[in-house]
Amino acid sequence: MRRLGIILLLLWGGHLQGHEMRPAFLEITEVSPETYNILWRVPARGEARISLSVQFVEDVEVVSEPVTAFSGGADVTRWTIQRSGGLAGTPLRIKGLESTYTDALIRVSLIDLEPQTIMLNPENPGLTIADKPGAGEVAVTYLRLGIEHILLGVDHLLFVLGLLLIVDRRWMLVKTVTSFTIAHSITLGLSTFAVIQVEEVPLNAAIALSILFLGPEIARKWRGGSSFTLRHPWIVAFAFGLLHGIGFASGLSLNGVPRPEIPAALLFFNIGVEVGQLAFVFLALAVAKSIRILELNRPSWVLKLPGYAVGSLGAFWTCQRVWPILFS
């Protein structure tokens, strides 16, 4: 596994940061024929604000002016609109989304129609409000959200890479990845239902520390040493998986989702996370096998580059995230 090489790092080199902000959220609720209450939630982190706005068709009439308040780490705006003929079949766009790295979760509840749940992203910042919503939209939306969250969560993937670098045996690898999966599934669910709550700043610092923790273990593996982590990586994966599961919950927005749909949304988000994680593991194993088969001449430091990256980035993120805690 030491031969993973530089390729894996380059795949996510353009996103060397922690979690993206959780998605923006737009809820459109038809309260009477052709009249709609709007809730627009734009996430914020510290002084950072994302410049996003909702664009309806031009003939929409504003009944009550927007009122904005800061709540739960986001700017929350509410207002009421009307449109002759209703909003079904009309376009909707999130202005400014194409210039960000975040997504926007859209939920539309029209009278006598099934609710619609759609995820917009920078590549697709607009949609047409369906007049005949299809079944299974919640499942597809949250499956995709889970996959995107893990693949853009470079810190999570770097931790998984660190686990791969300290595990040689195939059965132990399966056991370790399974332990990580079970653990983060537990805390993802508990965090989603607010059974456990952790502030974002210390949480991200702790996740960075989990990556940094693996750096010396990888070096010990290179030297032929032994430790509890090297002998029982699945236990360490489970322990830190509990922590990472809370981090996964930061990308799951269930605002506006009716209670009967929440279990399905949570399930498919978790499945999406697992699909993305397994895709990364299989890619890593395929790259390692390809390098072994090709038997290319490489300097020894190239083989150790992934391990150095795990330790170095873990140290960098730890300093970066602990600093606000110590000097806030």
The pLDDT value given to residue 258: 64
Band of pLDDT at residue 14, cut at 50, 70 and 90: very low
The pLDDT value given to residue 9: 42
- Tell me the three state secondary structure of residue 257: coil
Residue 94: is its pLDDT beyond 90? yes
Residue 150: is its pLDDT beyond 80? yes
Residue 6: is its pLDDT beyond 70? no
Say which residue the tokens 């690898």 belong to: 173
Question: Which stretches within 167-261 are classed as H helix?
Answer: 170-192, 200-222, 228-231, 233-249
The pLDDT value given to residue 19: 46
Residue 141 dihedral angles phi and psi, to the nearest 5°: -65, -50
Cβ proximity of 103 and 121 under 8 Å: yes
65 class by beta-carbon count within 10 Å (0-12 exposed, 13-18 middle, 19+ buried): exposed
- Reading phi first (left if > 0) and then psi (alpha if -120 to 50, else beta), residue 34 is in left
How far apart are alpha carbons 50 and 52 in whole angstroms? Answer: 6
The pLDDT value given to residue 217: 94
pTM for the whole structure: 0.71
Residue 232: is its pLDDT beyond 90? yes
**Sequence letter at residue 309:** A
C-alpha count within 13 angstroms, C-beta hemisphere, residue 318? 15
Per-residue pLDDT tens for 43-81?
Answer: 876 556 678 999 999 999 999 999 999 876 788 999 999
Cβ proximity of 138 and 265 under 8 Å: yes
Minimum mean pLDDT range among 15-19, 83-87, 235-239? 15-19
Q: Which domains does the chain have, with CATH numbers?
A: 2-19+153-327 (no CATH), 24-134 (2.60.40)
Per-residue pLDDT tens for 184-220?
Answer: 999 988 887 878 888 888 888 999 999 999 999 999 9
How far apart are alpha carbons 305 and 122 in whole angstroms? Answer: 32
